[in-house]
Amino acid sequence: MLTLGILGSGSGSNMQAILDAITVGTLQAKIAIVLSDNPKALILKRAASHGIPHAVIDCEGHKNKFPDYVQIETAEKLKQAGVDLVCLAGFMRLVKAPLLDAFPSKILNIHPSLLPAFPGVAAWAQAVEAKAKETGVTVHVVDSGMDTGLVILQEKLDILPAETADALHKRIQVIEHRIYPMAISQYAHSLNL
């Protein structure tokens, strides 16, 4: 059975969507562990309420960095939980060599734009600010760059006239919740996981 580990820093709505897809059987997998660098993140509460093992990745004292020693500990936790595929879901730190080497080509991310357009934070707000006509959602393999890895699945979305960044993000999230479980399933099959 495909065994997932999820890393997130925020609300965990994508983690919930993955769990819902597992529950209805459109994604054949289990979530073995949920990890967050933010002790107060809702994603941890969601994991707890579903009885999913969860833990804090302690990055205290490192504002935006994901220090190597913490990445090594994270990789160990994921391996101990038997994880074959790691899914970033709103995880706000850049993953580098220690974790990438432990899971080569086996870390996915969901990004709220049509990459390579608008990498980085709050991509929906960047799109509105740039007066873009369209944006979308990308699921990609994580490499050492910021939102630069191999694209697995993308879906476009027209930006409505005078649409606010918040309203756009809500519509983007509807797409995210539908395509992330699909992309995970497709990618896992392609790797025979």
Q: Which residues are catalytic?
A: 111
Q: Is 38 in the site for ligand GRF (CB under 6 A)?
A: no
Comparing CB distances to ligand GRF, the nearer of 72 and 153 is 153
- Using CB atoms within 10 A of its CB, is residue 193 exposed (0-12), middle (13-18) or buried (19+)? middle
Q: Is 110 in the site for ligand GRF (CB under 6 A)?
A: yes
Distance CA 131, CA 125 (A): 10
Comparing CB distances to ligand GRF, the nearer of 72 and 148 is 148
Q: Is 44 in the site for ligand GRF (CB under 6 A)?
A: no
DSSP string, the chain: -EEEEEE-SS--HHHHHHHHHHHHTSS-EEEEEEEES-TT-HHHHHHHHTT--EEE---TT-SS---HHHHHHHHHHHHHTT-SEEEESS--S---HHHHHHSTT-EEEEESS-TTSS-SS-HHHHHHHTT-SEEEEEEEE--SSSS-SPEEEEEEEEPPTT--HHHHHHHHHHHHHHHHHHHHHHHHHHTT-
Stretch touching ligand GRF by CB under 6 A, among 3-11, 31-39, 50-58, 93-101 = 3-11
Q: Is 136 in the site for ligand GRF (CB under 6 A)?
A: no
Q: Is 90 in the site for ligand GRF (CB under 6 A)?
A: yes
Number of residues that bind ligand GRF (CB under 6 A): 13
Comparing CB distances to ligand GRF, the nearer of 5 and 90 is 90
Q: Is 181 in the site for ligand GRF (CB under 6 A)?
A: no
Q: Which amino acid is at 16?
A: Q
89, 107, 108, 157: residue in contact with ligand GRF (rule CB under 6 A): 89
Stretch touching ligand GRF by CB under 6 A, among 4-12, 29-37, 44-52, 59-67 = 4-12
Q: Is 154 in the site for ligand GRF (CB under 6 A)?
A: no
5, 112, 136, 149: residue in contact with ligand GRF (rule CB under 6 A): 112
Contacts with ligand GRF by CB under 6 A lie at 8, 10-14, 89-90, 110-112, 173, 176
